[in-house]
Amino acid sequence: MLSTILKFLRTSLFPSKQVLRLRLAPLHAYMGATLVLTLLITVLDFIVIRPDFFVPMWLFLHGFAIFFFYLLWVAIMALYVQLVTKVYSKNMWAYRQAWPYAVAMTFVPTVILVVLYHMNPSLIWIGFIIGLGYITYPLTKVPKKK
The domains of the chain are located at 2-10+19-139
Mean of pLDDT values over 82-99:
88
DSSP element (H, E) containing 115: helix 95-119
Whether residue 6 contacts residue 30, with contact meaning beta carbons closer than 8 Å, is answered with no
What pLDDT is stored for residue 120 in this prediction?
A: 92
Rounded to whole angstroms, the Cα distance separating 23 from 27 reads: 11
Question: What percent of the chain lies above the pLDDT cut of 90?
Answer: 43
Contacts of 106 (CB under 8 A, 6+ apart): 70, 73, 74, 77, 131, 134, 135
pLDDT tens digits, one per residue of 93-128:
888 889 999 998 898 999 999 999 999 999 899 989
Average pLDDT estimate for 73-95 = 90
Confidence (pLDDT) at 72: 95
Confidence of residue 145 (pLDDT cuts 50, 70, 90): low
pTM metric for this prediction: 0.85
Distance CA 140, CA 123 (A): 27
In the predicted structure, residue 144 carries a pLDDT above the cut 80: no
**143 pLDDT tier (thresholds 50, 70, 90):** confident
Residue among 140, 130, 135 nearest 102 (CA): 135
Q: What residues contact residue 44 under an 8 Å CB cut-off, 6+ apart?
A: 111, 114, 115, 118
